[in-house]
Amino acid sequence: MNTPSNLKYAKSDEWFDPASGKVGITDFAQSQLSDIVFVEILVDEGEDITAGKPIASVESVKASAEIYAPASGKVSKVNKGVVEKPELINSDPFGEAWMIQIEGGTAGDLMDSAAYEADSAARSH
């Protein structure tokens, strides 16, 4: 499982980059869902969001899942590329497959990479 140490992680499997404000779903979430085939971003640029509220929905060949904001702030950018090519999440969940970017983001109750790895390992058994 890939968990970059510069990111913060939510128990609900989203990541937040405090440096850039970008948000996406983790490698662990993608592996649990299987191949992602559809992404819908539920928020718009300029919208204020609150940590814990839904920001996107994804569907895979196995299931669908809500994606929640790991931080509060104003949506400064929506990644339309991941909507047009949802399979990016399968190959690059921490790179091209970010979903939104938050300006002035205040992180919610997030974990570092070591804590997230331990939490994910406990849930995968």
pTM: 0.94
State yes or no: pLDDT of 82 exceeds 90: yes
DSSP letters spanning the chain: ----TTSEE-TTSEEE-TTT-EEEE-HHHHHHH-SEEEEEE---TT-EE-TTSEEEEEEESS-EEEEE-SEEEEEEEE-HHHHH-TTHHHH-TTTTT--EEEEEEEE-S-B-HHHHHHHHHHHT-
State yes or no: pLDDT of 3 exceeds 80: yes
The tokens describing 88, both together, are 């990016």
Looking from the CA of 81 toward its CB, the CA atoms found within 13 Å total 12
Residue 125 is predicted with a pLDDT of 66
8-59, pLDDT tens digit by residue? 999 999 999 999 999 999 999 999 999 999 999 999 999 999 999 999 999 9
State yes or no: pLDDT of 104 exceeds 90: no
Domain ranges of the chain: 8-106
Residue 52 is predicted with a pLDDT of 94
Class of CATH domain 8-106: mainly beta
Phi and psi, residue 20, nearest 5°: -105, -20
Q: Band of the pLDDT at 1, cuts 50, 70, 90?
A: confident
* More reliable by pLDDT, 106 or 71: 71
